[in-house]
Amino acid sequence: MSYDTLKVTIGEDKVGTVTMHRPEALNAMNTRMMEELRDLFQQLYVEPDRAACLVLTGEGTRGFCTGADLKERKGMSDAVWRRQHAIVEQMISAIMDCPVPIIAAVNGAAYAGGMEMALACDFVYAVPSARFALTEVTLGIMPGAAGTQNLPRAVGVRRAKEIVLTGEPFTAEQALQWGMINRICEPDRLMADALATAARIAANAPVSVRQAKKSLDKATETDRATGYAFEIEAYNRTVVTEDRQEGINAFNEKRKPKYKGR
C-alpha cells in the first residue's frame, strides 16, 4: 500500500497503523487525502484479511485532523465542492463499513471532518491536550461526514445539539465524561496504549471479531428484537468455523489458540 498523504503499516500480527501525513496543515484533508482514505478502507472491505485491527492517527503532536483543507476550498465552485464532498461521503462510509476494527488515536486537534472521522471509528483514545469541535455551522455549512448521526449515538441528542449548534471546542476530559472517547492517555503512551488494545483484538478469532462488530453496530440502528435476530445470524456464522473448534480445544488444552480466520 503506497500513498501520498498517508503512512500505512501492517505488522505480521496484522495490527496496522494509518497515519494521516500532512503535518504542515495539522493533517487537514485535501482532496488527495480524502481519496486515499476512501481507497484504503474500501480495499479493506474487499480484503478484510489484510489486517485484524487498525489504529488511525495523525502525524505530529498538534493535530489529529482539522477537517477539510479550507485553503484548497477557497474559491471552489459549487460543482467542485459537491464533487469533493461526494468523495468525503464515500470515505466516511468506507470507514464505518470497514469490517476491520478501527481505533482512533487522537493526538491533537480533531475538528470538523477530523472529529467526524474519529466518531466513525469503533472507539477513541486521546491525549489530554486533544481538542474536539464540529465547527461547520460557523463556516456556513453543517456537519456532512455523519457527525449528526454518530455524535448523538455517542453523547446523546441534547449534548450533540449543543456541540453542533454552537460550534464550540471542548476538551478531552469533557469528551471522556460525555462518553465520546474511551480513554485519555499520556502523549508518550497514546500509540503504545492504542496498539496494545489493537493487539488484544487482533489475537482473537478474526471471524468472531468481525461478526461481533457488525452485530454491535446494529444495536443503535434497529429495535432490540430485530437486533437480536441479526445477532443470532451473525453468531451462527462463527459456529461453522475452524476457529471455533480451535478456541475450545485451546481452552481445554490450556494453550494459546492459533486462529486462522476460517
Residue numbers annotated as active site: 116, 136
**Strands, DSSP E only, in 11-111?**
15-20, 53-58, 63-65, 102-106, 109-111
- Burial-class residue 34 by CB neighbours within 10 Å (0-12, 13-18, 19+): buried
Task: Output DSSP code: residue 262.
Answer: -
CB neighbours of residue 203 within 10 Å: 16
- Residues in Cβ contact with 232 at an 8 Å cutoff, skipping those fewer than 6 apart: none
Check if the beta carbon of residue 120 is closer than 8 Å to that of residue 92. Answer: yes
Q: Are residues 68 and 111 in contact, defined by beta-carbon separation less than 8 angstroms?
A: no
Q: How far apart are CA 59 and CA 18, in angstroms?
A: 10
Residue 186 has, within 13 A of its CA and on its CB side, a CA count of 2
Q: How far apart are CA 152 and CA 46, in angstroms?
A: 29
**Strand 131-133 vs strand 123-126: parallel, antiparallel, or unpaired?**
unpaired
How far is residue 69 CA from its own chain's centroid? 20
